[in-house]
């Protein structure tokens, strides 16, 4: 990636540390302290990293199930290579889809969907399957039964 080389060690340490921001009056001051730089430098570096498109957001991630999205699933589909782009376009347009990847496997198209309840979820899935014209037999509906871990933080140093 073209941006990789341009991150110095302080950027990397900042990107790693700031993945958890303390909920205090001046959160950047504590991060600055840990990195032994000034609060101004933290803010300057963060805004540059935002401008460069390396940081996509500074703020909270909310738990879907705690804000009313009680039903979710992971879908895997077999999509012919020639139709991947079209299917991706359609699935991406669906606001209930949070992640969508093409992966290396016979089941090559994977996405996650969340909805208020199971009925709503199934309606969305039916619409997607029809819209994409994928046979039912080429779809795996992998409902979660237990979450053991969600902790999206990356080690960069």
Region of residue 15 (left: phi > 0; alpha: psi -120 to 50; beta: else): alpha
Q: How far apart are CA 89 and CA 100, in angstroms?
A: 11
- Give 56 or 130: the residue with its C-beta nearer to another protein: 56
Total residues binding another protein (CB under 8 A): 80
Q: How far apart are CA 39 and CA 43, in angstroms?
A: 6
- Give 36 or 67: the residue with its C-beta nearer to another protein: 67
- Please state the closest distance from residue 130 (CB atom) to another protein, in A: 19
Q: Which of 9, 23, 36, 82 binds another protein (CB under 8 A)?
A: 23
Vertex 40, ends 37 and 41: CA angle to 5°? 50
| Site residues (CB under 8 A) for another protein, limited to 58-117 | 58-64, 66-69, 72, 74, 76, 88, 91-92, 95-105, 107, 110-112, 114-116
- Helix or strand (DSSP H, E) at 49: helix 39-51
| Site residues (CB under 8 A) for another protein, limited to 125-154 | 140-154
């Amino acid at each position: 990636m073209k941006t990789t080389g341009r991150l110095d060690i302080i950027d990397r340490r900042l990107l790693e540390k700031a993945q958890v921001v303390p909920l205090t009056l001046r959160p950047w001051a504590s991060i600055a302290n840990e990195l032994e730089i000034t609060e101004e430098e933290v803010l300057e570096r963060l805004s540059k990293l935002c401008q460069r498109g390396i940081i996509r957001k500074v703020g909270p991630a909310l738990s879907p199930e705690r804000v009313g999205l009680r039903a979710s699933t992971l879908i895997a589909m077999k999509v012919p290579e020639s139709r991947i782009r079209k299917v991706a376009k359609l699935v991406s347009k669906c606001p209930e889809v949070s992640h969508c990847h093409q992966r290396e496997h016979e089941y090559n198209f994977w996405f996650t969907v969340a909805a208020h309840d199971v009925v709503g979820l199934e309606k969305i899935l039916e619409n997607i399957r029809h819209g994409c014209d994928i046979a039912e037999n080429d779809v795996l509906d992998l409902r979660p039964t237990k979450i053991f871990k969600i902790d999206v933080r990356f080690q960069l140093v």
